[in-house]
Amino acid sequence: MPGHRITELESGLRVVTEAMPSVRSAALGFFVHTGSRGESVAEAGLSHFLEHLLFKGTDRYASAEIDKLFDGMGAELNAGTDKESTAVYARMLDQHLPAAFDVMADMVWRPAYQDVDPEREVVLEEIAMYEDDPQDTVFDVLGEAVFGDHPLGRPIIGRAPVIRDTPIDVIAEFHKRRYVPGNVVIAAAGSVDHDAIVELAQRTAHTHDGIEAAPGIEPAPADPRATVRFVRKDTEQVHVTLGGLGLQRGDERRFAARVLDAIFGGLSSSRLFQAVREERGLAYSVYSFTGQYADTGQVGLYVGTRPDNLVEAMKVVSDELERLREQPATEEELVRARENVKARVVLGMESTGARMHRLGGSLLFGLPLLETDEVMERIDAVTMDDMRSLVDDLWAPGRLSAAGIGPDEDKFCAAVQGVAGDESKLAA
């Protein structure tokens, strides 16, 4: 299968593509190295809000016209913001790629900030909807427990006062300092021609001369204190997360971490799922998770359970954590998890969208662009010793913070005592 090609323009803008000759579609994305981590408290949520405003039109294309153009192409246009990046991406028939590129480039480089106030209301509604869902917001409570007042501990979606009150000129300045060619990667996969996309990138790119660059990111806390944090809310379930620091994005142990996550709580055959849900019926949703950032990461688990099941559920979780520390994997579990992770990689890479995201994210964050066979070899190389070492580093006693949302703070704190590392808590 043909490999990827990379071109860096004089402006610093980078283009990466991967041809997939068997398809007639293309996936295209603009990846910008800016997210909630790069915001001050007064800017919290501007990256996410700006992502919305990119869709509200340019001097050449009104918002409704953008919708009609992509609908007319049968294309899918979307965007997303996370802690360290923002992406605008689309899938379309290969014949429509030049037209889609032209519109997307105009959105990314030259937003016109039309209809800003109605979109403020849309985002405020999104924040309200998000805050009404404890199964989502509990992860932000955990982020605050793990990272404290560091930007990594703040919600990506932002704060309502920032969205409501930030003037348009401040938002425009925020864009100009971050949406610069050296901060952007254009990625495409599928039925694509690299040289043609480079030409499109050269023709449509835009710079903001004389604009001071955005400040660098604040280093992650090296060893934050494990804490317990709780938000009281009248819910039918208690939503519980436990977690701590994980691996940074470029850590070579990330392949082993994916295998360990599959064994512990990432699969229907995983230990957590079987012990909490299948054997005892204590939860509908229970799983483990991992996340990686530039200089740190996060591991964690989630359980949603009724208040009368909370103590028993936490006892089972505690027992499974002990078992993980004593025996991270059996040989059977290790083989099954490696095969599962490999299959997910391969199946994902058969999608033009997944390949495009992999290309853009890897180049944006300076990760090696490994071919599928190379990734599979790294997963196959994961050993039992790798599992033991990771458990010692990531799931050691005293390293885990706990976060919860539910009706009774005292019962929550009593239930997680001995599982999390500290008795500190925050009520909100």
324 closest CA partner among 372, 416, 394: 394
To 10 degrees, what angle do helices 384-394 and 331-349 make? Answer: 90
Residue 51 known to be catalytic = yes
Question: Quick one: 123 exposed, middle or buried, by C-beta within 10 A (0-12, 13-18, 19+)?
Answer: buried
Gap between the Cα atoms of 366 and 295, Å rounded: 12
Whose CA is closest to 35, among 128, 147, 174, 165?
174
Angstrom distances, CA of residue 2 to CA of 18, 45, 190, 340, 350: 7, 40, 11, 25, 13
The C-alpha angle 68, 92, 15, rounded to 5 degrees, equals 115
Which of 18, 39, 43, 51 is labelled catalytic?
51
Neighbouring C-alpha atoms within 13 Å toward the C-beta of 273? 14
d(CA 76, CA 309): 43
DSSP 330: -
Burial of 230 (0-12, 13-18, 19+ CB in 10 A): buried
Dihedral angle computed from the Cα positions of residues 178, 181, 184 and 188, in that order, rounded to the nearest 10 degrees: 150
Distance, first Cα to last Cα, the chain: 53
Residue 172 in tokens: 């425009």
Beta bridge partners, 358, equal none
Amino acid at 119: E
How do 14-19 and 184-190 pair as beta strands? parallel
Beta bridge partner(s), residue 3: none
Beta strands in 100-198 (DSSP E): 184-190
Judge whether 21 and 352 are in contact, CB under 8 Å: no
Q: How far is CA 289 from the centre of its chain?
A: 11
For the sheet containing 297-305, what is the strand order?
228-232, 401-406, 238-245, 297-305, 286-292
Tell me the catalytic residues.
Answer: 51
